[in-house]
Every structure is written in structure tokens, then in C-alpha cells.
Chain A
Amino acid sequence: MKIALFIPCLVNHFYPEIARDTLELLEKLGHGVSYTQGQTCCGQLMTNSGCLDQARSSVEALGKALLKEPCDAVVAPAASCVVAARENLERLTSFEDFHSLAGKIFELTEFLHDIAPLDHPLKPLRKTVSLQMSCHGLRQLGLGTASELVVARPVNKLQALLSRIPELTITQPSRDECCGFGGTFSVDERDISGKMANDKVADHLATGAEAIVGYDPSCLMSLGGVVSRKGIPLEVMHFSALLNQVT
């Protein structure tokens, strides 16, 4: 498949290794991958605070950059940015091409699970990881079945992908509760947000895992911030790093 990478601003500027892992992984899986310069923010920072007008130019600039190269699918290693990009391209722009672009943006987990299913043989990895099922991916993108729902066959697409790695042990925290990041919430409501992040790290730690693995870099940044502050012996990583390592 011909893939255009959408690398959200936080990943681009603070976690470039997630973007490189995503790029390399997709290439190893046989996809043609391109990246276009000039990508901005999905608008989430502004729209999460209700500032739709302030988000428009950013969303348009992002749309323009992503349209530079023709592709079959746009893939991003960040769930909440995918939710925002899709929603904002639809509701904040009137350009037809932006609307059809919105329809082919996929988060990396859903791309590897639903669009171009991962069937590559993977190398074994002896490690215990705890899955961070962040809320936008879980409840808006359906990367898993949220614990509130009564479903006969719950799914967890991240677990399904990672369980293909031989010898990897996968655990999950006791709850799929929000980690407390929430964009500007992490600053505005610093007490509650900090407490939620601490509770989430404790829940991951209690699983006995060596690493927290997730699909949303912003949540991982928040959890990583607690891990670093408290000197907790846990790695915090995007799942693309794991998959790239074993592919």
C-alpha cells in the first residue's frame, strides 16, 4: 500500500523515534511510505477547549501538507490526533478533498489490525509489557472494548497485534480508566491530572510489567513524566518501537 505518514506535532518535535519506528516498521512490512513536510497540528489543542475558529488554519495547513503526495492511506502513530484530524477536517473545512482525506486517516493500530492486517513473521522478544489503552483510541476509535460495555466478544486490537510476538508477555492494568492527560487539562487541573497519572502508573506497576506500551504518545508523555519524577523502574514506550524491533 502507498502510505502517507501523518506525524503529529508532539511526535515530530518531542518523540521523533516514534515516527522513525513507524516509518521503518511500515517499510519492512512492504508498504511504500512517504512523509510530507509542513504538517502542523490536528487542531486538538484548540478544539478541545472549544476554540474551533482558532484551530481552522492549523487543520487546513495539515490537510494541505497531507494532500501533497497521493496515497491509499494516511497513517499516524497517535490515536487522539487521528480522532481530532478526522473530525476537524470534516467540520472545520469546506474543501471536498479534505473531507475525503479525513476518511482515509488511520491510527497505526487500526491500520495494522483492520486495513492491512499484520501477517509478517515476528522475532521473539522476552519482555513483559502492560497495555496503556488510552481513551480516545479505546472509546472513539474502538481499538478495544471499553470495560463499561456489555459485549459478548470483547476485542483489543493492540493486544491482538502484540500477541503475535513470540515470548512477549502481555498484561493490563486493573482498569481502563483515563490516565489524566486530557490536553490542557494536564495543566489547568494539575492536581487531579497529576493524581490520575500517578494512579495509572501505580496500576501499571502492579501488573509486574517492565514496560508500559501504548498507542497514544501524549498519554505516554504524561505517564513517562510520573515515572521519571518518581524514579519508577518502568519503561514507557509506543508500541511501534516493539513491533519495529521484532519485524
Chain B
Amino acid sequence: MSQTHARKVETFTADEARVDWHSAALLALRDKRDLQAKSLPEWEQMRETASRMKLYVLSHLPELLEQFTSNCEANGMEVHWARDAKEHNEIVAGILKERGKKKLVKSKSMLTEEVHLVPHLEKHGIECIETDLGERILQLREEPPSHIVVPAIHLKKEEIGELFHEKIGTQAGASDPTYLTHAARESMRQEFLSADAAMTGVNMAIADEGAFVVCTNEGNADMGAHLPDLHIAVMGMEKLVPDADSAALLMRMLARNATGQPSTSYNSIFGAPRPGCQLHIVIVDNGRSLRMADRRHAEIYKCIRCGACINTCPVYRRGGGHSYDYFIPGPIGLAIAGDNPEANSEAWACTLNGSCNNVCPVKVPLRETIAYHREQLAQQKQLPYHKNAYMPLAGKIFGSPRGLSMAMAAARVGLRIMPQTLQRRIGGWSKSRDFPKPPAESFAHWYRKNRGE
């Protein structure tokens, strides 16, 4: 059993100024997202259409996968199938080793985090370079991302300056983002030029075209994919869309919702390999179809990984991305994996406020899915925070008008006689808040006395 989320946030929350800084950076993304969404009068209609389009996809996966595959093959690409992480990693290692490849440049892919690809390839002697700046920073720090879109959002520029000084030889003490970014550009350019294989993720796989879209701001996916003679694109099978119109709809929403840009700098549409080169696509299940077999869990795969739910989540912003057990933090991470009994407090790292539902461009019912995981864990008696013990008791007390009345009366008396200094030392609620001042009598009592029955 891992530590509770409440314990894991303690290091992060101990530095309140840093919490405020972190929260403000993410709120700035939320604000920019609001501006972009509000610039399109058809926004809510787009969300509804995108949601229904994804429901169509998820309820017609086998047909669409067949269609996508045969079209990709007709377009000269090779398609591979991985039922789980192990198969995925073996397929990728196999493609690279067969062709004697030694150095892979990869753009950001949450899937490769999910299946732990990089350590696997390194075991096979293949060097892997993360090319997204944020991911590269974390690779050099040997640390996981703390956000799916802005992976190094938890780091200060001074920390990155120190890292770059040590790893790529920037000036000691330098922390100007422009200077550091351009230094990384120079250093990464050499990696791009010397790589013999490239990997990208897939943002949308267009079934009726046999083509796929890759969206980046840095241009790293394209810079990587268009140099060596081998490009491997990896995708979870939920990335399918039926047609180009659907892909365009999602392209209109993705960057607007993620970072508040009208578009990512690059929307690259791959419909064929470069002449004389190879393009392989690896399609992955890895538990997706199993989760989709549960109706109350299934809609998480509508997700297009914009990260807006994470940006708006008040718990994520104040607790940081490393406080979660699952590699995807925030609402979408909880909705995917909040049913894990090994990390059973995750589903409670949420106030059920529902802001995430409202920003989601494809209407994933995040709040309801997280609440569902709580139900599942309750049924398995895997509740965190001592709830296995006190919830049945609470149920009994609250289920009896007399019991509830007596318990509440006792609580009022308790609060009245307990000195405030002691109240403040109880912890939990009273760590930062006073208890209410208890009234002399309940409303029910007053009503009986004054209004009779």
C-alpha cells in the first residue's frame, strides 16, 4: 500500500509560496483556455459533437481499427499490435534491433510513460533521447513528469539552470528561460542529427484515411521524424477518429483547451512514409478494452490528453503532480486509475467540485467516474483514511433520528466545554480552521418548543 495522497502532498504544501507559484502558473493556462474557448461561439456544441464522436469510436473500435489498419497498409505503413506493455516494448525493441538502430529520438508520449518503454530500450543498448524540452529536463533529472502537457511545471528556472550547467554546460547561475531554451536547442540539434530512428506519439488516428496527426509546439516530433529513415509511431487504440472532419474538430479544440493557443505550432499529418524510409505504427490495448467493458469506467477513453482538467483542479494545483500514485496526475489520472486498491486514497484527492467536467472538451464524466471508484473501493472494503472502520458506524448513527440527535448534542456539548486551545490541537479540520460555535439547541428542539407539533 502506498502512502496516502494527504501524506504525499505534505512536502509540497510545506512551502506555501511555492504552492501559490505553482497554482498561479496553472491558473494562467486555465485563463488562457477560457479566453480561447470563449472566442468560439460554437464551443459548447463542439464539445457535445466531440463527445458523441468519441462515443461512436469507442462503440465501434474493432471496425475502425480494421479500417485504419488496412488504409495505413495501403499507404505504405506497417501496423503492429500490442495487447499489453510487454508486447509493445518487445515490438519496438524488435523493430529497432532488426535494423541495427542505436539511437532513438522521441517526442512526448504518455503511452511510452505508461508502458515504461525507455528503460526497456536502454536495457537493449538503445539510447533514447526525449526531445520535448520539458521531458528532456526531466530525463536529465531522472524524474517523472508532473503534468501531461507541461511536464516540468513544478520546476523553477533556477533549478533548470543548475541542471543545464551540470549537464549541457550552460553558464553557472544562468536561469533566463530564453538563454536556457536556446542552449537546449543547440545541444538537442546534435542529438537529432545523430539519431538513427525516431519515435512519436499520435494525437488522432484517422481511420478512413490511414493517416495520423501529431501536434507539437516545439517541432520536435517533426524534426525527429523527418531525419532518420525509420519512424515509429505508438498509440493507444482510443486515439482513433473516423474521419478528417473529426480530426479537424479535435485540432480546433486541443491546443485551445490545453494551453490557450488557437493551435499548436505544428499539426503534422502523416499519411505515408518518406520515400525510401519506413513508418511503423504500434497500436496498444494494455488494459483499455478491459476498462471499457465497464460502462461506468469506459468514457475515460474519450480523453484527448489536453490536460485542462488538471489545470483547473484545485487539489492538483496545490498538491503538485508528484503527489499521485498513477503516472497521470489530476482528475483524468484519478478517473483512469482511481480504483487501484494499492493506492486507495487517490480517489479521495478530489472535492467532487466538477470543474474538470466542465472544461473537458469531450465531456469525460470525470467527477462521476472518480465517485464510482470510491463505490468500488467501498464494496471491496478498501477505503482509506480509516473509513472502513467509521463509515458503518456513521451509517448507523445517521440512520437513526434519535442516534443522530444524541451524537450531535454530544458534539455541541463537547465543543462548548473543550478549550479553544485544545480544539486547535486536534488536527484534521482544526489544523487551519476553528470549529463552529455550537448553539444551545437544535432547530428541531426550538421548533418543538415554539411551534408545537
Q: Which residues does A use to contact B, with CB under 8 Å?
A: 7, 9, 11-17, 19-20, 23, 35, 37-41, 43, 45-46, 48-58, 60-61, 65, 135, 139-140, 146-152, 175, 177-178, 180-182, 184-198, 221-222, 224-226, 228-229
Contacts and interface: CB of A to CB of B under 8 A. Distances in A.
Contacts of B357: 139
A189 B314 contact: no
A187 B429 contact: yes
A139 B354 contact: yes
Contacts of A221: 436
B333 to A, nearest CB: 16
B349 A189 contact: yes
B318 interface: yes
A162 to B, nearest CB: 23
A61 B315 CA distance: 34
B448 A37 contact: yes
Contact of A40 (B353, B384, B404, B434): B404
A192 B451 contact: no
Interface of B: 4-6, 9-10, 13, 16, 19, 27, 34, 37-38, 40-41, 43-44, 312, 314-315, 318-319, 345, 347-355, 357-359, 371, 373-379, 383-385, 387, 391-392, 394-396, 398-401, 404-405, 408-409, 411-412, 424, 427-436, 438-439, 441-444, 446-448, 451, 453
B432 A190 contact: yes
A191 B10 contact: yes
B354 A185 contact: no
B355 A146 contact: yes
A212 to B, nearest CB: 14
Contact of B19 (A9, A56, A151, A195): A195
Contacts, number: 238
Given A139-B354, A224-B436, A49 B9 contact: no
Given A9-B398, A139-B354, A178-B355, A192 B315 contact: yes
B6 A229 contact: no
Contacts of B396: 57
Contacts of B354: 135, 139-140, 146
Contacts of B352: 48, 135, 182
Nearest to A34: B451
A84 to B, nearest CB: 11
B394 A7 contact: no
A11 B443 contact: yes
Given A20-B443, A46-B394, A58-B399, A185 B436 contact: no
Nearest to B399: A57
A38 B400 CA distance: 8
B355 A49 contact: no
A194 B10 CA distance: 12
B13 A192 contact: yes
Contacts of B399: 40, 56-58, 60-61
A15 B434 CA distance: 15
9 contacts: A40-B401, A49-B378, A58-B398, A147-B34, A148-B37, A150-B37, A185-B350, A192-B314, A225-B435
Given A49-B348, A197-B432, A57 B444 contact: no
Contact of B43 (A41, A52, A150, A181): A150
A13 B408 CA distance: 6
A139 B358 contact: yes
A20 B444 CA distance: 10
A125 B429 CA distance: 34
User: Closest 8 A-B residue pairs measured CB to CB?
Assistant: A225-B433, A54-B395, A50-B374, A57-B399, A194-B432, A182-B351, A148-B358, A50-B378
Contacts of A181: 351
B6 A50 contact: no
A122 B86 CA distance: 70
B319 A192 contact: yes
A9 B404 CA distance: 8
Nearest to B438: A14
A190 B428 contact: yes
Contacts of A14: 408, 412, 436, 438-439
Contact of A150 (B41, B383, B401): B41
Contacts of A11: 443
Given A54-B391, A139-B357, A195-B19, 16 more contacts: A9-B408, A12-B442, A35-B447, A49-B374, A49-B387, A50-B374, A56-B395, A135-B354, A180-B314, A182-B351, A184-B385, A189-B348, A190-B427, A192-B318, A225-B429, A226-B432
